[in-house]
Amino acid sequence: MPLVPPYIESLRPYEAGRSIEEVQREFGLTRISKLASNENPLGPSPQATQAIARSLHSLNLYPRGMELRRVLAEKFDVKLENVIAGTGSEGIMSNIIRTFLCDEDEVLTTESAFIGFQVLAKSRGVTYRTVPYRDWQYDLTALASAINERTKIVYLANPNNPTGTIFSKQEFDEFYKHVPERVLIILDEAYFEYAKDNPRYPDSMHYRYDNVITLRTFSKIYGLAGVRIGYGFAHERLIGNLLKVKLPFEPSTLAEVAGIAALDDKEFLHRSLEVNARGLQLLTRSFREMGMTVVPSEANFVMLVLANAEQASQLVRELLMQGIIVRPLASFGLANCVRISTGTDEDNQRCVEAMSKLAAAV
């Protein structure tokens, strides 16, 4: 047996979007709009940063790790035993993979699923199977038929990254009828807050099933991606086993206090939703007017579908040269697509202007 297992050796590491400093250096630019990682363009929740500042004096102590769970249990009207908090929702995903997967199990999801999940699942060395999108939506009927006796985890993101599409409660219910109880469904709702007011969007906290774990995050609407704090809800048997496996002192003290404070920061949440709604509308409408294919999004980004991989990478490069960082999706498995996050009103305007210059040049 080699020192490094073949499934690790062949794994492509997670590629994050390019940083502002990197692009400034490479292209000698001063003004950069980073629209590549679905971050909150308004910065972090001010209440969260104040809470972090207030708790700095106690950093010599190990985290207690219960308070955020308690606050979430109360807010969502569930028992403490149904709640987990972790190092981002990806931290919890990683624990799910370590806790529930055995060597012979299989993971099932859509093609080109969120790259973070792909990397985590493949790093476990189990069989990873996918079903193609139908019109850039999860094909829940095909996913249900693809479940076999070895399927252990089905991963669904709603809204989905990178397409931004959602599925409805009826679609989920129909799918759920075909899922055996021994299969764990990860319902990743990282972009829940952006979609929650759409009547087609189901809030999974209103319907709980014993084999479904809902994951949410403070990284997006609350602007705390750098703090690494996420949470999840599930049956106590699932949470109890996850708690055995997670690192004893995650999440960190700062992450926990930031999360608690952010939940109360209604004003910031409101402003963040408004700037995103304006951004989605502007980007979608403007790119369509330029003749581009834009997938309708319920999250904080839009996906553009180009004719081929060369056009997509050329677009990414040319926007970069104008100081706009967007996300190529080849690493997700969609080489002809590009994802653009919403930014501040000014960022969005710059992006549209940069794009129309490119469109005019063709």
Q: Which is nearer to ligand PLP, 190 or 352 (CB)?
A: 190
Q: Which is nearer to ligand PLP, 157 or 294 (CB)?
A: 157
In angstroms, the CA 83 to CA 232 distance is 6
Q: Are 83 and 133 in contact (CB under 8 A)?
A: no
Query: Which token pair is 159?
Result: 């809204």
CA dihedral 144, 150, 154, 155 (to 10 degrees): -140
**Which residues in the 172-201 window bind ligand PLP by CB under 6 A?**
188, 190
Q: Torsions phi, psi of 192, nearest 5? A: -45, -50
Q: Tell me the window of 127-135, 165-173, 217-225, 321-329 that interacts with ligand PLP (CB under 6 A).
A: 217-225
Q: How far is the CB of 38 from ligand PLP (least distance, A)?
A: 5
Q: Is the CA virtual torsion 37, 38, 41, 47 positive or negative? A: negative
Q: Which residue's Cβ has the minimum distance to ligand PLP?
A: 88
Give yes or no for residue 217 binding ligand PLP (CB under 6 A).
Answer: yes
Q: How far is the CB of 113 from ligand PLP (least distance, A)?
A: 8
Q: Which amino acid is at 236?
A: E
In angstroms, the CA 9 to CA 122 distance is 11
Distance of alpha carbon 31 from the chain centroid: 27
Q: Which is nearer to ligand PLP, 39 or 106 (CB)?
A: 39
Give yes or no for residue 219 binding ligand PLP (CB under 6 A).
Answer: yes
Using the rule CB under 6 A, which residue among 44, 65, 88, 164 binds ligand PLP? Answer: 88
Per DSSP, the three-state class of 57 is: helix
- How many C-beta atoms surround the C-beta of residue 56 within 10 A? 10
Q: How far is the CB of 92 from ligand PLP (least distance, A)?
A: 8
Give yes or no for residue 47 binding ligand PLP (CB under 6 A).
Answer: no
Query: Which token pair is 232?
Result: 């999840």
Q: Which is nearer to ligand PLP, 29 or 42 (CB)?
A: 42
Q: How far is the CB of 24 from ligand PLP (least distance, A)?
A: 23
Spell out, one character per residue from 125 to 164, where the chain touches ligand PLP: x when CB under 6 A holds, - when not: --------------------------------x---x---
In angstroms, the CA 244 to CA 252 distance is 17
Decide: residue 310, CB within 10 A, 0-12 exposed, 13-18 middle, 19+ buried: exposed
Per DSSP, the three-state class of 187 is: strand
Q: Which is nearer to ligand PLP, 230 or 323 (CB)?
A: 230
Partners of 110 in the beta sheet?
131
Q: How far is the CB of 302 from ligand PLP (least distance, A)?
A: 14
Q: Tell me the window of 84-92, 142-150, 314-322, 347-355 that interacts with ligand PLP (CB under 6 A).
A: 84-92
- How many C-beta atoms surround the C-beta of residue 6 within 10 A? 10
Query: Which token pair is 84?
Result: 């987990």
Q: Which is nearer to ligand PLP, 17 or 46 (CB)?
A: 17
Q: Tell me the C-alpha to C-alpha distance, in Å, between residue 171 and each of 130, 157, 163, 190, 196.
A: 18, 14, 17, 19, 16
Using alpha carbons, select from 348, 296, 306 the residue that is nearest to residue 135.
296
Using the rule CB under 6 A, which residue among 45, 51, 68, 90 binds ligand PLP? Answer: 90
Using the rule CB under 6 A, which residue among 73, 225, 290, 335 binds ligand PLP? Answer: 225
Give yes or no for residue 230 binding ligand PLP (CB under 6 A).
Answer: yes
- Within 158-235, residue ranges assigned H as helices are 169-176, 192-195
Using the rule CB under 6 A, which residue among 33, 38, 110, 297 binds ligand PLP? Answer: 38
Q: Tell me the window of 46-54, 82-90, 178-186, 311-319 that interacts with ligand PLP (CB under 6 A).
A: 82-90
Q: How far is the CB of 360 from ligand PLP (least distance, A)?
A: 32
Applying CB under 6 A, the site for ligand PLP has a residue count of 14
Footprint of ligand PLP on this chain (CB under 6 A)? 38, 88-90, 114, 116, 157, 161, 188, 190, 217, 219, 225, 230
